[in-house]
Amino acid sequence: MVSINYENEYKSLAHNARSIGASEYHLQWVTKYRFDVLAEESSWKDCETAIRYTALKYSIEIVEIGVMEDHVHVVAKIPPYLSVAHAIGLLKGASSYHMFRAHPEVKKRCWGGHFWGRGYFYRSVSNVTEAIVRRYVREDNNQRQRKLT
């Protein structure tokens, strides 16, 4: 039987200690028209600070962050009550607002009031592979089936 260690990795909802899980994602989004508006150190540092501040405000745990010239990568643990789309919306919206206030020259370049492009990328992250989870489910079910017969 495969053993998966779930200790200390998962969050539970305070009102329902029976529900427990992890929502860790690799997130990525690009600037509008992929303009390289984050090339200057002051810009990318301000962007990173805004993302970290917003994450803290909404209980999103930033594991890693990388701000490139025209896009951002984030590995984040999202609380169970937030969807991926909502979490990304919060991070993009707050950082956009902050960037336009802190860097008015960027607002001129990103006309139309949009700092970030419309889409985003997300993918779940886990410390176990899909093959391990499949084997765990298959073998755990086999153990149960053996007990029932």
- 28 token code pair: 């990525």
Which tens digit of pLDDT belongs to each residue from 5-58?
Answer: 544 566 665 555 667 778 999 999 999 999 999 999 999 999 999 999 999 999
Instruction: Tell whether 96 is covered by a domain.
Output: yes
- Percent of the chain whose pLDDT exceeds 70: 81
Instruction: Tell whether 55 is covered by a domain.
Output: yes
Instruction: Tell whether 6 is covered by a domain.
Output: no
Q: Domain limits at 41?
A: 21-148
**Strand 11-13 with 61-67, pairing:** unpaired
Instruction: Tell whether 77 is covered by a domain.
Output: yes
Average pLDDT (96-115) is: 88
Total of domains in the chain: 1
Using only the alpha carbons of the chain, give its radius of gyration. 20
Instruction: Tell whether 3 is covered by a domain.
Output: no
Using DSSP, state whether 24 is helix, strand or coil: strand
Among 13, 16, 47, 46, which Cα is nearest to 30's?
Answer: 47
Which CATH number is 62's domain given? 3.30.70.1290
Instruction: Tell whether 10 is covered by a domain.
Output: no
Q: What are phi and psi of 62, to 5 degrees?
A: -85, 120
> What predicted TM-score, i.e. pTM, was given to this entire model?
0.80
Mean pLDDT over each residue of the chain, to the nearest integer: 85
Instruction: Tell whether 25 is covered by a domain.
Output: yes
Instruction: Tell whether 11 is covered by a domain.
Output: no
